[in-house]
Amino acid sequence: MRQLVERGQLLISMIPTGLSREFHRLEDTCRERLGDVLDDLNKLTSDPRMLFPGNQPERLRQFKRAIWQMDLLETVCISALERAKDSDKYLNRLVERIRIEIAYPMLPPVVTPLSQSYFQTYPKFNLMLVPLSEGHFLLHLPDLYHELAHPLLMVRYDRRVEPFKNAFIDVIDSVTQYIEDELEREKRGGGPPLLSLYLQQWLRYWMLNWTTEFFCDLFAVYTLGPAYAWSHLHLSATRGGDPFTVPTMNSAAVTHPADAARMAAILQGLQLAGFAEEATQIDAKWADLVAATGAAPDAEYRRCFPRRIIDMIAEKVLIGVREMKCRIAAPDTDGVVHRTLNGAWIEFWREPAAYAEWEKATVENLRIECAKGA
């Protein structure tokens, strides 16, 4: 235990000083959380109640939690602070600008470009990691909007965010009901036991991560518009596999729903937000991509991601985002980041060969815009 206290103190001393103000909140979070861990560890050695033989199971569990918490702080937060650079200011200013444009109801997360695994967010630390070079390009920055939705689902006691969380609860209740009905049907019909196992596995994914990912996709669609759909199409084309894949017994753990199901929800969201024309264009490109992969939906896919559930999610999220008083993107929405990210995709398709040059100049302009008022 004393060794762990030593390690915690070392980690606190490793928090770099003199970081720019964009990182002050993360620095504060690190210090506070590490302080809490050290308080807990000290309590485990000095509180007479924790030395009582009957309390040893609680003591051991608390000790393990302290270690896990310290591991997370070290590998995620301290690493982010250690590698924070002045160039990271741009991404933080960009996210701050997005926050203002979309009337995001919370403080923005701290952004650092050290992700080894695409965009990702640690909601409890309010920390977003993005790939190293992402700040130099535009086409995948729409994913920032997706990531911004993750912390919303973990906020407690904030009435502004309740509509979004209530929509989430409605969806997981409906999905649970759907899967339970399917399980009952299997039971009555005496189908192969494997199908019941699939259904149980899918419910677990829906509960633990898929619903969250659909919500974040749709939050991005409703607050940014078509650029998010284009970005998802591009990501699926460049990094995706079979867009209709659903987990079966032998497949590895997955974090996201099938790309095709995500695209169906995204396109439905675009329709609901008034981007019918753009939805049609993107749908046509998506159909080309699917045809090129040679993949097709099978019965499992349709059962795992029924269309009526996808449509219901799109409707519920729209209500949640609207009632959270975030700005819903519409064809006439303005704002420098909104205009730039949607414009980038228009430019990309209009003149692909000249896009790289256009992008370079536009990123520079965006940097200047974001620096204003910083």
Partner 1 sequence: MSQIAMYSGIYDEIREYAEVLDRVLVDLKGGTSSPQDQNRQRLAELLISLAAPQAGDLSMRLISFLLRDDTGVDPLELSKIGELLRATRVETSVIAPLERLAQSLQREQAVAMARMRMRG
Inter-residue contact 249 to 193 (CB < 8 Å) = no
| Among residues 70, 171, 216, 282, the one that binds partner 1 under rule CB under 8 A | 216
Position 120 contacts partner 1 (CB under 8 A): yes
Which residues, other chains included, contact 56 with Cβ-Cβ below 8 Å and sequence gap of 6+?
none
Least distance (Å) between residue 62 CB and partner 1:
6
Inter-residue contact 195 to 186 (CB < 8 Å) = yes
Nearer to partner 1, 33 or 338 (CB): 33
Position 231 contacts partner 1 (CB under 8 A): no
* Contact region with partner 1 (CB under 8 A), list: 97-105, 120-128, 292-300, 323-331: 120-128
Least distance (Å) between residue 358 CB and partner 1:
31
Least distance (Å) between residue 216 CB and partner 1:
8
Nearer to partner 1, 128 or 139 (CB): 128
Q: In what order do the strands lie in the sheet with 120-122?
A: 110-115, 127-131, 120-122
Least distance (Å) between residue 49 CB and partner 1:
6
Nearer to partner 1, 252 or 368 (CB): 252
Query: Would you give the binding string for partner 1 spanning residues 237-266, x where CB under 8 A is met?
Result: ---------------xx-xx----------
Site residue total, partner 1 (CB under 8 A): 48
Map the footprint of partner 1 across residues 154-213, applying CB under 8 A.
Answer: 154, 156, 165, 168-169, 172-173, 176, 204, 207-209, 212-213
Nearer to partner 1, 73 or 264 (CB): 73
131: phi then psi, degrees, rounded to nearest 5: -60, 150
Map residue 231 onto helix, strand or coil: helix
In whole angstroms, what is the distance from residue 272 CA to residue 236 CA?
23
Map the footprint of partner 1 across residues 75-94, applying CB under 8 A.
Answer: 76
Question: Using the 8-state DSSP alphabet, how is residue 108 labeled?
Answer: P
Q: What is the enclosing helix (H) or strand (E) of 179? A: helix 162-189
Least distance (Å) between residue 215 CB and partner 1:
11
Query: Would you give the binding string for partner 1 spanning residues 26-65, x where CB under 8 A is met?
Result: -----------------------xx-x-xx-xx--xx-xx
Position 147 contacts partner 1 (CB under 8 A): yes
- Report the sign of the C-alpha dihedral through residues 134, 135, 138, 141, in that order: positive
In whole angstroms, what is the distance from residue 82 CA to residue 179 CA?
45
Report helix, strand and coil shares of the chain as percent, to nearest 5: 70, 5, 25
In whole angstroms, what is the distance from residue 229 CA to residue 232 CA?
5
Q: Which residues of 313-335 are buried (b: 16+ CB within 10 A; e: fewer)?
A: bbbbbbebbeebebbbbeeebeb
Residues that bind partner 1 (CB under 8 A): 49-50, 52, 54-55, 57-58, 61-62, 64-65, 68-69, 71-72, 76, 115, 117-124, 129, 147, 150, 153-154, 156, 165, 168-169, 172-173, 176, 204, 207-209, 212-213, 216, 252-253, 255-256
